[in-house]
Structure 1
Amino acid sequence: MSYKPQANLRSAYNFQESLITIDDYLDFALKNSFPFSFYADLNSMYGAAEFYDKFSKKNIKPVIGLTLEFHQNQKITLNFYAKNRNGYKNLCYISSEIQTKELNELEILNFARNYFTDDLAYVISFEENHDANLVDALFKDINKENLYYGINFKTQEQYKNFSNVVYTNKIAYFDIVDKKAYNTLLAIKDNAYINEVTTVVDAHYPSEEELYQYAKISNDNLNKIANMVNFDLFEDTGMHLMEYKTPNNIPQRQFLRQLTDDSLNSYFNIYHIPNNKKDDYKKRLDYELNIIEQMGFVNYFLIVRDYVRYAKDNDIMVGPGRGSAAGSLVSFLLRITTVDPLKYNLLFERFLNPERKTMPDIDIDFQDNRREEVIEYLFEKYGVYHVATIVTYQSIGAKSALRDVIRTYNLPVDFANKITKLIPMQYQDDLKGAIKNSRALTSYYNDNKEIFEMAFKLIGLPRQTGTHAAGIVISDVDLRDIVPIRVGYNGIMQTQFDMNYLERLGLIKMDLLGLRNLTTLQEIRSNIFRTEKKDINFDKLDLTDQNVYEQLSLGKTTGIFQLESPGMTNLVMKMNPKNIEDISTTSAIFRPGPKEMIPEYLKRRKSRTKPERYVIDPSLIDILAPTYGIILYQEQVIQVLRKVGGFSLGRADIVRRAMSKKNHEYMKSAKIDFMKGAIANGYSEAKANEIWHWIDNFAAYGFNKSHSIAYSYISYWLAWLKTYYPEQFYTSLFNASLGNAAKTSTYIKEINAYGIDFKGPNIKNVNNKYVAYNKMIFAPLTIISGIGPEFLKKLRNLWVNDKAVFDDFYVLISNLVINGMNRQIFEALAWTGAFDTYQIDRRLIVQNIDSLLIFADQNKGKREIDPLTIPVLESSKEISDQELYLKEYDYLGFYLLNNPFSIKRKEYSNKNVFSLNKIITSSKRGLAILLVDAIRTKKDKNGNLMAFLTLSDDTATIKATMFADTYEKLNGSLNPGAMVLARIRIQNYNGEDSAVVEEIVNYVK
């Protein structure tokens, strides 16, 4: 059976209406030797660029189109196909209008008619009857050579005397066996059951036999349409970057030079740069500016500078730099970044390389709660059709596919839960792999093959659009001239093409990222100003303050960006950092790959041997001695290639990339050039060969030093604030961790070391966040489970209107019952000590809650209470301390006044019991009272049962191993939830701490 190209295929980008992905379509076209293929989704063009790119690469001529549907007594389908670039623009405008405005069918059609030109080819299809009057009205100004009629099984007889016909039955899957999967997809979309859905026609690819005598005519006409098409979507698009408006219309190149020259002179004066260094800065600046001008990126830098300046002028925290842009002196002088690249030997070529023609990539971090303000500024400044975010596509994963199919088959939710919980995250796109690796899942598959087969068909299909986390584009021309757009978040336009195709269309992606740590820094800064009246300028902090580095060396890394994981904390303590470079090194080496070098690096760092002794060749001392002869940074690879092989920095960066990607073909020719250059530079052939292979081994491990240094500034800023303003620092951490009981518990324990008291919930504290005052941090009522924002809002209003109500417990509860306090809220407040301020035992409040609620209801809203009506609070039973701390834990998620671990440690004080954190960070071995959070057993190589556990106390959590000889002594008595006195030993592998349980001494009750 021979298949031919078809005009009305719908791709999976018509979400949940087709099983055909672009890759499926391409495979089908290749299998059937299509010379050309058509793409025309309904109303949107999401897949157009992907379709064009992939088909053209396989030498199949791509024909880009768009489909509209409307009704006039019957359904009418219009397919438009772009003959040239103007036709493509017409499609972009029509699709953009549909996707950015809420229009009915008639409004869409009337708008589209404005773009009916001879730059398009047209196919009009009537569901039932040909309407000549409508055709004349729609296409009166169109050359009829561009007009074709779509036929299907129902209408083909009406067109038997027409020569300009093409077959247009809608295609949504390729094989008739997929009809049920297609119906399942429609059922999912319509939230229906599979037996409620039937397709109107079999939407499979038709054969020539099915098309009868129309097959040849249709194919000839499709060929005519394809031959009309003559443009390359990605060719000669130019670079569409907005032109920056300079003061007094100064040429942009001149303005950029003026800005950077002025900034450099100021830098010289303020920071007293020695005269012998000034020439280095001037040469570097001139070199960078020349490259930026040559590559046509002057406007790019000016635009980025503008929105960074807007953020800073509006007190929006901006990061010190991100990625390779921190290696640019121009970025530094424009205040786009905060890092002086010459100070840290950072390379401009790692960022912008004239020998590798790519777009610049200046990624900027903003405090995450105000990032949208910067995007809105750009939107307002440059115009609605010149700024857009970037679309992403969310695809159907294995779990959601199964859940959806099971629902359409009207099976229980519990059944779906049982199956999907067996699928690990790494198999989200590989259900067959999950089945292969799970006996239980295999059993479900064997018993429910149809459900699984349906799910296989759905996995990977795009489900809906999303928004790129950071990317935006700013165009000098109307975006609709380049790409179709849609409405995104906050009414800001969004490209219909994803980021993979925008650069090739001349649109430069700019990344505006939200970083939570910058929000934290800004909050701490604001708290300091509020409480201390001091305005902290992070750019002016002393980066050599040894008090700060001493705190890090002691392991006080909680809340410190990049450094707070247990493995990083352990490494920081071993590193004993003294400067920013040490923080940078720590974060660079603590990654997969380089982690293997940590022991050797620490050994060399602590050795009395001079670092120069570890360098592979004396000529490379300046480059490699700072990292003890180990390549940690990509910049070092580039510098070694230049020093030894005589490469330009630009060429060296290209070679570095080839090494890291194991591009062996390119490396063969690069090595020849390297060896020639090395010998010319005085190296022996043996030494040059040794250095080449040595670099090759390290190249894949190298990290971007520009990024590492810049992010180390954030780490240092936070560490500085923690050292000198711990009260404000921890207040911000508490607020960032609202709802995270584990982190809150950790912070409560840590602040004791800083002389800060933690104050639990208090009914008189009506703030919705943590606040600090006079070495105290006050918790908001919102940390209590069951206390919602509506109750707190009413409580705040009560406080604002009449604080005197809060002077007396009985007056207060009489007013709270008319402000949202029910029995559940009353209990929650009582158990967590919110009423302790009235010196009434919380046990008594809980035991008398019924009589108190009756009393409050009888006196609701009163400001004065008759003392004789106040109920006597009586204790009906003894409430133990254990019940108190368990209730506190239930409502808060952590222990406050009644910490069982502290209590039990005191009980076992004669046994020298330590906290888990103390054992991890100091003693490495000892007794601890621990909670068994989880336990998993398996047989060791001898067939004996051993256990893997998760253990915790109020200071830390750790993964632990219990070998068979220890575990089998317990006779299966160890279960999750047990509290034990255990002897543990800490071990470290690749920078990660874990424990070995040597003995369970006792069960703690």
Structure 2
Amino acid sequence: MTCSGTPGAGVPDGGDPLRTRPALVLSGRAGEAQGVVRALREAFDDGRLYVELSDDGTAGGRRRVGRVAAFAGEEGLATLATNEVAYLRPADHRLHETLVAASALSRLPGPEYRPTDRLYLRSPGVMARVFEDRPEALKAAAAVAERCAGAVKLSGEVHVPGVRPAPGVSPEGELRRLAEVGVLRRYGRRPGGEVRARLKKELECIEKLGFASYFLLAHEAAGIARDREVPVTGRGSVANSLVSYCLGLTSPEPFSHRLLFERFMHEGRRDPPDIDLDLDSEGRDGVRDELMRRYEGSGAAVAATANTLSLRGAVRVAARALGFSPAETNELSRHVPARVRDRDALVRPIRGWERALREPAMRDHPLQDRERYGLLMELAARLYGRLWQAGTHNGGAVFGSGGRHLSELLPLEPSGREGLLRAQYDKDDLEYVGIPKLDLLGLKMHTALRKAGELVSEKLGRKINPLAPPPDDGATYALIRTGRNAGMFQLESPGQMNLSTRLKPRRLRDLVAQISLFRPGPMRGDLVTPYVRRKNGLEPYSVPLPELAEVLKPTYGVMVFQEQVLEISHKVAGFSLAEGDLVRRAMTRERGPGAMLALREEFVGRAVARGVPEAKAEEVFSWMEGFSVYGFSAAHGASFAELSYASAYMRVHHPAEFFCGLLNSQPMGFYSPRTLLNEARRIGLGVLPPDVHLSGEGFTVEGDGAALRVGLSYSRGLSRAAVSSILSERSGRPFASVADLYRRTAVEKDSLETLARAGFLDALTGPNGRAGALEAAKELPEKRGRRESQPELPMPHPASWWAAREGRGVRRLPVSGTAREGMEWEALSLNVSRHPLSPYREALKDLGVLSGREVLRLPHGTRARAAGLIECLQSPPTKSGHPVYFLVIEDEAGLLQTTIFRSVYERFGHLLHREGAFLLDGRVERTDARGFAFLVQRIGSLREALKGSIPSPRVSPSPGAFLRAGRRGRRTG
């Protein structure tokens, strides 16, 4: 225990002696300091109490050290030389001051500023010079450091969570019992010999590695979820395990999907296995809290995350510290990319900004004025990528092990949420010290499907399980093949929609491949095109050796899955599957040329010994090495594919309930509530207006599944108490007027006006409708005292995330034809009456604009003009490494994905970050490589083209705008 002599340390309120520091001495309160020393001596053994001497390099530092040392001598206490460390190098002191000031919401120099650059990690030589007159303090520091070095040891063992089965039952015995029950449930009364043999092999491996308790913990978590009717499914490599399947942790059947236990765990792996469970996001916290409550006696906590500053965040931090106003800080950070491709260039101040400033989004940006903002840019460049704060992992839970409390294994701290502790290690640190975490992840699709399932169950009068739809439903796959996949789990992104039309899935195996192929690795490796062509019979394929036909036939000769590396290594070189996994891991991680050469020699040598020609063995290894980098886990793909199919089935057979569930689970997925509601309208569902007497808390299904009605939670600024009071009061008797509603409920005046603008109060004013309701709301006085006595925060708006979401680089701007529609948008962020482009369709035809649906039908080579509201802008990885941008626009007919190459983006890209509605000139391409593509050649502002007839806020004219001139109709060439 050390008593710190840091000059800034004060005396805490309450006089806790274990927290009080020698500031008492420095402030002349020696009597109180002596009392503290007596208390500390009673608490700590001899030789464990020191007075810390720390010279921070500020004026008077040496004098303070002398006063504290003199006090220690008077009390007979040993001194210990230390140094406060806030940064690694002296040059980093300005960054530290910037971060401290920004954290305190202050400008530089900040409330805790100390004029020194000496708070860095000093070398032993520097410490010896600073404390050359106090060698005893240096010796004490070395002795304490030596004792501390032996306090924490990495034993190499894995600290498996301690689970308590029934008295007299071992974890291994309990796991065997549960697996036996599960195998009979999954495979019937007489499981086949292959199932029995694999189950036995897996259980033996789990027991030998000591992970039985870990599986039991996951099973207990899943049991808590099911008891609470919280949907739960496993994801990731755990689905490779037959034991997990039998325990009900995962749903893909291992044999039919060729899932291999060794991809998940085996005796040759040194890192612990990782079990991930997806739960309904609204019930996840309750499940996690109950599990942690059961094991709080042995310690339970959540993992930490290390949050670093993006470039945009670094600009905000630097601007705050330099004293810029909030408004100017927002303006300076707007359109700054979150990250840059060449960070090494950026960290060379000012010059490193050149690439970022050349981005189209940064055109005419204030930061182009380097003379004014040079210091801010220099600080931001150096802050970029720095650790900003510790965060809490989304779902990673860790537990005490083998009778040892978790606090004995790692440091813990409060998480910021009452009753929830956080480990000071992130997931990589936990793996390094051998502490497996159980990931209990919130998944909004589970939430949406649960809500949709409840509505369908109510409609049918019997309970249905939306996670277990009838298999191989033709109508479901037919819809997926059209590419109209909005709302479908993992299938709704623009790229997946396009791939659906090309790959043409007809069974679950096709969905597994589709989800696995649409990943950065397979796309960079150009695995998609050969797979699609071969599946559709457009291209033959062959395999290097006959032994590989069985492994590669399901994927048409393309190595898609990581599990295939294990099988190929086994069949060609005779490796065990566990050895094959080590081959996979070696290929997918950076290894030196020597290590890869040794691996190649072993593979080829063992293959030749089995009769494989050496040239063929070399060919297989090279081919496997090239493709394995891009492979995806089949277990992960299968887990997601089953949920994708379930969501698609619900959309096809219960569309109203499905969209209702989606809209009541926001934010989630790829598309905003506005787009989802428009999609529901496009498939024939009615959209009923808000009504304070008929609307529920969220969206509701009416008309026997024919229509959706907007819910109260979509009214901006409304508190939960206000919604509850509306629902409660109207159940007794209806509201007679706007004033009556205001008097009887917890609705505040500003929220009342928003309800009026949205249309919830139209029915309360008879023929005067919207205008009368708004006028009545404005005439009412503020409620006195309610805000102070019953403070209520507004509920998070379901669409708020879409307006603020980083990474899109766009703003979705409303386009309204009437004042009524404009008020709806402002109050709800929805288009209830009609699509915002509907009033302008004739004007758009005059401009030669086709609907998105018409563009999709055009033949190859056709030039056309499209228009729509921007929905998203993406730039996924490409094989060439050159950026390609995918812009999705939306009109009344649907979504249209367009492709923008770099040259066009550099000319017009600034518009995409400032406007909300566009005209796009381009050309249709239909190729095997891309399927359908609309290649954009010119981008213009739709607002400018229509001469301001479509008002959208914060839109400024730009040189890229189209003029009204343009031929009507389709242009071909």
What's the TM-score, normalizing by structure 2?
0.76
Q: Label 1:633 to 1:992 Cα distance change in 2 as closer, same or farther (>3 A).
A: farther
Tell me how far apart the structure 2 counterparts of residues 935 and 511 of structure 1 sit (CA, whole Å): 30
Distance verdict in 2 for CA 1:503–1:822, change over 3 Å: closer
**Counterpart of 1:301?**
215
Bigger CA drift: 656-665 or 916-925? 916-925
RMSD of aligned Cα (Å)? 4.5
Does 2:602 align with 1:673? yes
Structure 1 residues 683 and 289: alpha-carbon distance in aligned structure 2, compared to 1, 3 A threshold: same
Note the C-alpha offset of 1:579: 1.2
Would you say 1:266 and 2:203 are equivalent positions?
A: no
8 Å CA contact 1:916–1:956 kept in 2: the answer is: yes
Contact 1:986/1:996 (<8 A) preserved: no
For structure 2, list consecutive stretches of 5 or more residues without a partner in the other structure: 56-61, 359-364, 782-815, 874-884, 939-961
Relative to structure 1, is the Cα distance of residues 388 and 105 closer, same or farther in structure 2, using a 3 angstrom cutoff? farther
Cα pair distance change 1:67/1:622, threshold 3 Å: farther
Q: CA deviation at 1:250?
A: 2.2
Structure 2 CA distance, aligned partners of 1:443 and 1:927? Answer: 36
CA-CA distance at 1:797 after TM superposition = 3.6
Partner of 1:779: 710
Q: Distance in 1 between matches of 2:328 and 2:249?
A: 54
Aligned letter for 2:207? E
Distance in structure 2 (CA, Å) of the matches to 1:109 and 1:210 = 30
Contact 1:75 1:127 in 2 (8 A): no
Q: Quick one: which amino acid aligns to residue 930 of structure 1? A: A
The answer to whether the 8 A contact 1:830-1:845 is kept is no
Amino acid paired to 1:380:
R
What's the counterpart of residue 532 of structure 1?
460
Deviations 1:25-45 (A, max 9, x none): xxxxxxxxxxxxxxxxxxxxx
Given that 2:239 and 2:635 are in contact with CA atoms closer than 8 Å, whether structure 1 keeps it comes out as yes
Q: Secondary structure at the match of 1:249?
A: coil
Deviations 1:429-480 (A, max 9, x none): 8564752423778865554555555556655554433201121111132122
Preserved contact between residue 765 and residue 772 of structure 2 (Cα < 8 Å): no
**1:124-158 per-position Cα deviation (integer Å, ceiling 9, x unaligned):** 99547887776566336977555555445225656
Per the alignment, in what secondary structure is the counterpart of residue 16 of structure 2? Answer: helix
Q: In the TM superposition, what are the counterparts of 1:129-148 in structure 2 within 5 Å? A: 135=37, 138-139=40-41, 148=50
- Does the 8 A contact of 2:859 with 2:924 survive in 1? no
Is 1:761 aligned to 2:699, yes or no? Answer: no
Contact 1:927 1:982 survives alignment (8 Å): yes
Amino acid at match of 1:376: D
Shift of 1:315: 0.6
Matched, 1:313 2:198: no
Distance 1:374 1:646, change over 3 A: same
After superposition, residues 650-799 of structure 1 pair within 5 angstroms as 650-663=578-591, 664-737=593-666, 743-752=672-681, 755-773=684-702, 774=704, 775-785=706-716, 792-799=723-730
What's 2:171 paired with? 252
Gap change, CA 1:197 and 1:357, over 3 Å in 2: closer
Which stretch shifts more, 886-895 or 695-704?
Answer: 886-895
Q: Please state whether the residue corresponding to 1:614 is helix, strand or coil.
A: coil
Q: How many angstroms apart in 2 are the aligned matches of 1:327 and 1:246? A: 25
1:478 maps to what in 2?
Answer: 405
Match of 2:265 in 1: 352
CA deviations over 1:781-825 (Å, ceiling 9, x no partner) = 44355666565444334312213x4xxxxx434523535789977
Partner of residue 532 from structure 2, selected from 593, 602, 606: 602
Instruction: Specify every segment of 5 or more residues in structure 1 that has no aligned partner in the other structure, as ranges.
Output: 1-65, 79-101, 113-122, 806-810, 858-879, 937-946
- How far apart are residue 287 of structure 1 and its match? 0.8
SS in 2 for 1:511: strand
Q: Could you tell me which residue of structure 1 aligns to residue 559 of structure 2?
A: 631
For the structure 1 residues 69 and 706, does the alpha-carbon distance in structure 2 shift closer, same or farther, using more than 3 Å as the test?
same
Distance 1:474 1:127, change over 3 A: same
Q: How big is the shift at 1:643?
A: 0.5
How far does the alpha carbon of each residue in 1:545-595 deviate from its partner, in whole angstroms, 9 at most, with x for none?
A: 222212212223121101111221121122221211100111111122423
- Does residue 956 (structure 1) correspond to residue 895 (structure 2)? The answer is yes
CA deviation string 1:182-231 (max 9, x = no partner): 55555445444436757567462785797475154443443344445562
In structure 2, the residue matched to 1:420 is 333
User: What corresponds to 1:493 in structure 2?
Assistant: 421
* Aligned-partner residue type, residue 422 of structure 2: Q
1:533 Cα deviation after fit: 1.7
Label 1:402 to 1:697 Cα distance change in 2 as closer, same or farther (>3 A).
closer
1:156-183 Cα distance to aligned partner (Å, 9 max, x none): 6565889954434645457777666655
Q: Distance in 2 between matches of 1:208 and 1:505?
A: 31
Give the deviation of 1:306 after TM superposition.
1.4
SS at match of 1:709: helix
**Alignment partner, residue 936 of structure 2:** 996
Secondary structure in structure 1 of the residue aligned to 2:726: helix
Q: Which amino acid aligns with 2:700?
A: V
- Rounded Cα–Cα distance in structure 2 between residues aligned with 1:854 and 1:227: 73
Cα deviation for residue 831 of structure 1 reads 6.0
Do the aligned partners of residues 327 and 197 (structure 1) sit closer, same or farther apart at CA in structure 2, a change above 3 Å counting? closer
For the residues of structure 1 that align with 2:551 and 2:131, how far apart are their CA atoms? Answer: 75
- Could you tell me how far apart the structure 2 residues matched to 1:147 and 1:910 are? 86
Question: Residues 2 and 50 of structure 2 are in contact (CA less than 8 Å); yes or no, is this contact kept in structure 1?
Answer: no
- The amino acid of 1:470's aligned partner reads G
> In the alignment, which residue of structure 2 is the partner of 1:279?
193
Give, in angstroms, the shift of residue 357 of structure 1. Answer: 2.4
SS class of match (1:358): coil
Q: Is the 8 A contact 1:76 1:126 kept in 2?
A: no
Q: CA deviation at 1:744?
A: 3.7
Query: Shift of the alpha carbon at 1:313?
Result: 2.1
Among candidates 571, 581, 586, match of residue 643 of structure 1: 571
CA distance in 1, matches of 2:144, 2:919: 78
8 Å contact kept, 1:983–1:1001: no
TM-score, length basis structure 1: 0.74
CA distance, structure 1, for counterparts of residue 751 and residue 377 of structure 2: 46
- State the SS of the aligned residue for 1:304: helix
Q: Distance in 2 between matches of 1:333 and 1:416?
A: 55
Whether the aligned pair in 1 keeps the contact of 2:845 and 2:968 (CA below 8 Å) is no
- Partners of 2:160 and 2:187 lie apart in 1 by 33
Number of equivalent positions: 851
Q: Residue 232 of structure 2: SS of its match in structure 1?
A: coil
Would the alpha carbon gap of residues 992 and 783 (structure 1) be closer, same or farther in structure 2, given more than 3 Å must change?
farther
Shift of 1:603: 1.6
Q: CA deviation at 1:67?
A: 5.5
> Is 1:435 aligned to residue 345 of structure 2?
no
SS in 2 for 1:562: coil
SS at match of 2:483: coil
1:502, CA displacement in angstroms? 2.7
1:36-72 Cα distance to aligned partner (Å, 9 max, x none): xxxxxxxxxxxxxxxxxxxxxxxxxxxxxx765599x
Q: In 1, distance between residues paired with 2:559 and 2:733?
A: 67
Counterpart Cα distance in 1 of 2:113 and 2:697:
54
Partner Cα separation in structure 1 for residue 98 and residue 630 of structure 2: 47
Q: Partner of 1:343 in structure 2?
A: 256
For residues 374 and 632 of structure 2, the distance between their equivalents in structure 1, rounded to whole angstroms, comes to 47
Cα distance in 1 between the residues matched to 2:204 and 2:889: 59
Deviation at 1:883, TM superposition (A): 4.9
Tell me if structure 1 keeps the 8 A contact 2:505–2:511.
yes
